[in-house]
Amino acid sequence: MRPGDPPAYSGVMVPRLGPLPPDADLPRDCAVGRIIRVADGIADVRSRAGLVRATYGAEYLARIAHDPRTRPRPGDLVLLRTWPGPRVTMEPLDRRDGGGRGSGPAMRVG
């Protein structure tokens, strides 16, 4: 790896991503993350706690069933929710209008 190259993660180059928004107003079992890599039904997500592997939550599954083009992509902001047993799911935080990315939450938290 040369100086200035993005860090490697499990043999995959990780893109440089901007800072994460604050977690302050979220429930205790939730955090904000940014998707690093996506595979079928699962994603590697960067959060303040480090890298997390998360599966799609109900909101993502409903969106994808309605329109497969709304699948999560690297760089998307997500809400991570930790469940017992140690399961982690993710829900979208960015709205997509016409295939682009809008601003503001796609769901209410709390």
Whole-number Å distance between alpha carbons of 93 and 51: 18
Locate 26 and state its tokens.
């979220």
Q: Check residue 51 and give its pLDDT.
A: 93
Is position 16 within any domain?
Answer: no
Domain that holds residue 57: 23-92
Does residue 42 form part of some domain? yes
Range 27-38 average pLDDT: 89
Q: Count up the domains in the chain and report the number.
A: 1
Considering the domain boundaries, does residue 81 fall inside one? yes
User: Has residue 91 got a pLDDT over 50?
Assistant: yes
Q: Which of 101, 27, 91 is nearest to 58 (CA)?
A: 91
Match 């429930």 to its residue by tokens: 27
CATH number at residue 71: 2.40.50.140
Rounded CA separation 23/66 (Å): 29
Task: Assess contact for 92 and 103: CB atoms under 8 A.
Answer: no
